[in-house]
Chain A
């Protein structure tokens, strides 16, 4: 595998996916400090949104410390080189949110759907392109689709105007061969000028290995999170990915020491708990469950006395998709009442 000289865009998730373990409570000041550190370290693209994307502020996913607009307007003017992206899940956010984000100065809009439901993204992707934004189609829970089916969905997003297509391992379930198969086929089927990206979670400790496999298969945009600050056991840690990329000769333009200083000095101090592969995060990756369910299952355990691991396994059995956080409390209630069919308890 010779990847020397390959240029990869590192896209940092710590201020969006990282909102999950922070219960969306990262303050505007903390965002500014972390974003500036990433900017100085040479990270070219930083995502800033509620963890569940624009419009995610809700009872269901959690109300954030500040609105999407407040975060974007506070951070974007401070950055010298880095651009900012926003995430949008159709069904949660709307084109009104997209227009707001564009008005705040985001350079990139990422429109995310479950891996089989790309056709709900048409109006948002089309508007992103019309507004002149770098427009990404983001297929979540990509382990639930075979490579051919996934590529067909991605090409729908391309047909709506997406100039970059993502294989998103929301559950941190994939192994390197799973990534290779999906990225390679997508690279083959997509237009040559369309960029391919990969978003990993570290629930099985595969974040870096999967990201390198993605690069080898043709991905040129890799989602990472400084300090691993992301849902579940976090995303591919930016500083580790950059270090490995350096060893392989992959060019990221990110300074490994500077970015690891940001992880240590600006991110670690704000954590509510260590982001690591504990038994519940491991269960996410092992059972293929959406990473942001983690804290919801732990809260349900606290409230209803049902093990979080059992709740997560049941969420996996029900083939749940991103956004179904509301089902967690209901499943916990059913488990407590003993009314759950097929419950192991």
Chain B
């Protein structure tokens, strides 16, 4: 059966890592890479890998969407640019997987709510943040056992893995992650903290997830739920590891995680970036399965 054709918008590190992951996919085929800089190494690499490329931004892709049967686009640009990109492509029936903090569409954290997105025909889904992808599964692992009145995540990432976009607007990380910890993780209230550490060699992403339960924590059930969730995340992020926990201290349930990347293009310590690209590809594959089964079509061209 034919693979679903995808476009990657943004030819930087994230875009290039996505390219490597898509090349391995049984369901998806990377067809286009979109950049804005003719001298971009990412575009050159994509061209070498046999993709069509443009340095004219999304406008360079739009005329080819129909002929090249682009059905899914990954946007790894910025929140600001994403709004325009999304408008131009969803109009043509392309499903947008948003890796920026724009969050036009609903949040998607694959092991928590990917299945819930099936059949909803959302034209745009948002991948929250790296910290969100790494920690929300663990918040949910507790909240599916019993009510969580407050959840707080602390993401510690290597300085080298934090790009200029995140640095310019670090509040966007804390706000978006906190909102998704509540909305997707199932906590009544969410808080997020990010720490950037410049140590050399760079540290592997670490995450601490604190949940405060409404009643006495059900230890055995939470332990089992955490184990199950670890296994679920490890299917698409093999370097996702429980370092310690769950620790029980009164109504506090804490898990300590480490996230190593696959090292496709990004270095392995940048598990924070890898878990974003891996989650995005996992999400796209679910939609691709639906598309191939004829259950999902965004063919709005007739009405556009």
Other-chain residue from A59, A96, A318, A323 in contact with B199 (beta carbon distance below 8 A): A318
Does residue A68 face the partner (Cβ distance < 8 Å to B)?
Answer: no
Q: Which of B230-272 contact A (CB under 8 A)?
A: 243-245, 247, 249, 252, 254, 256
Whole-angstrom CA separation of A35 from B212 in the bound complex = 34
Does residue A326 face the partner (Cβ distance < 8 Å to B)?
Answer: yes
Closest to A334 in B: B244
For residue A123, which residues in chain B have a CB less than 8 angstroms away from its CB?
Answer: 168-171
For residue B168, which residues in chain A have a CB less than 8 angstroms away from its CB?
Answer: 119, 122-123
Does residue B159 face the partner (Cβ distance < 8 Å to A)?
Answer: yes
A91/B206 in contact, CB under 8 A: no
Q: Which of A295-338 contact B (CB under 8 A)?
A: 303, 318-321, 323-324, 326-327, 329-330, 333-334
Other-chain residue from B152, B243, B245 in contact with A59 (beta carbon distance below 8 A): B152
Closest to B155 in A: A91
Closest to A60 in B: B154
Q: Which of A85-143 contact B (CB under 8 A)?
A: 90-92, 94-96, 114, 116-117, 119-120, 122-123
B193/A92 in contact, CB under 8 A: yes
B198/A114 in contact, CB under 8 A: yes
For residue A117, which residues in chain B have a CB less than 8 angstroms away from its CB?
Answer: 159, 167, 196, 198
In the assembled complex, 22 residue pairs joining A and B whose CB atoms fall closer than 8 Å, in A order, are A58-B193, A59-B212, A59-B254, A60-B193, A90-B170, A91-B173, A91-B196, A95-B171, A114-B196, A116-B159, A120-B170, A122-B168, A303-B249, A319-B197, A324-B195, A324-B197, A326-B208, A327-B208, A330-B243, A333-B247, A333-B256, A334-B243
Whole-angstrom CA separation of A319 from B158 in the bound complex = 12
Does residue B63 face the partner (Cβ distance < 8 Å to A)?
Answer: no
Within the complex, the shortest CB–CB distance from B260 to chain A, in Å, comes to 15
B161-191 contact mask (Cβ, 8 Å, vs A): 1 or 0: 0001001111101110000000000000001
Interface contacts beyond A123-B170, A323-B193: sample of 17 additional A-B pairs, CB < 8 Å, sorted by A: A58-B152, A59-B212, A59-B252, A91-B193, A91-B194, A91-B195, A114-B198, A117-B167, A321-B197, A326-B208, A327-B156, A327-B206, A327-B208, A329-B247, A329-B254, A330-B206, A330-B244
Does residue B21 face the partner (Cβ distance < 8 Å to A)?
Answer: no
For residue A327, which residues in chain B have a CB less than 8 angstroms away from its CB?
Answer: 156, 206, 208
Whole-angstrom CA separation of A59 from B249 in the bound complex = 12
Given contacts A91-B170, A120-B196, contact A58 B191 (CB under 8 A): yes
Determine the main DSSP class of A at the interface with B. mixed
For residue A91, which residues in chain B have a CB less than 8 angstroms away from its CB?
Answer: 170, 173-174, 193-196
Q: Which residues of A contact B (CB under 8 A)?
A: 58-60, 90-92, 94-96, 114, 116-117, 119-120, 122-123, 303, 318-321, 323-324, 326-327, 329-330, 333-334
For residue B282, which residues in chain A have a CB less than 8 angstroms away from its CB?
Answer: none
Within the complex, the shortest CB–CB distance from B169 to chain A, in Å, comes to 6
A319/B199 in contact, CB under 8 A: yes
Closest to B196 in A: A117
Within the complex, the shortest CB–CB distance from B175 to chain A, in Å, comes to 7
Q: Which residues of B contact A (CB under 8 A)?
A: 150, 152, 154, 156, 159, 164, 167-171, 173-175, 191, 193-199, 203, 206, 208, 210, 212, 243-245, 247, 249, 252, 254, 256
A323/B210 in contact, CB under 8 A: no
- A-B pairs, top 9 by smallest CB distance, nearest first, are A326-B208, A319-B199, A59-B210, A94-B171, A330-B256, A91-B194, A116-B198, A333-B244, A323-B195
Within the complex, the shortest CB–CB distance from B227 to chain A, in Å, comes to 17
Whole-angstrom CA separation of A128 from B244 in the bound complex = 40
For residue A95, which residues in chain B have a CB less than 8 angstroms away from its CB?
Answer: 171
Within the complex, the shortest CB–CB distance from B288 to chain A, in Å, comes to 36
Closest to A322 in B: B195
A114/B193 in contact, CB under 8 A: no
For residue B256, which residues in chain A have a CB less than 8 angstroms away from its CB?
Answer: 326, 329-330, 333
Whole-angstrom CA separation of A120 from B197 in the bound complex = 12
For residue A58, which residues in chain B have a CB less than 8 angstroms away from its CB?
Answer: 152, 191, 193
Whole-angstrom CA separation of A60 from B195 in the bound complex = 12
Closest to A141 in B: B198
A60/B210 in contact, CB under 8 A: yes
Within the complex, the shortest CB–CB distance from A157 to chain B, in Å, comes to 13
Closest to B199 in A: A319
For residue B199, which residues in chain A have a CB less than 8 angstroms away from its CB?
Answer: 318-319
For residue A120, which residues in chain B have a CB less than 8 angstroms away from its CB?
Answer: 167, 170, 196
For residue B195, which residues in chain A have a CB less than 8 angstroms away from its CB?
Answer: 91, 321, 323-324
For residue B254, which residues in chain A have a CB less than 8 angstroms away from its CB?
Answer: 59, 329
A94/B196 in contact, CB under 8 A: no
Closest to B207 in A: A326
Other-chain residue from B171, B198, B208 in contact with A330 (beta carbon distance below 8 A): B208
Interface centre among B169, B208, B245 (most CB of A within 10 A): B208
Whole-angstrom CA separation of A94 from B192 in the bound complex = 11
Given contacts A60-B193, A321-B195, A333-B244, contact A90 B171 (CB under 8 A): yes
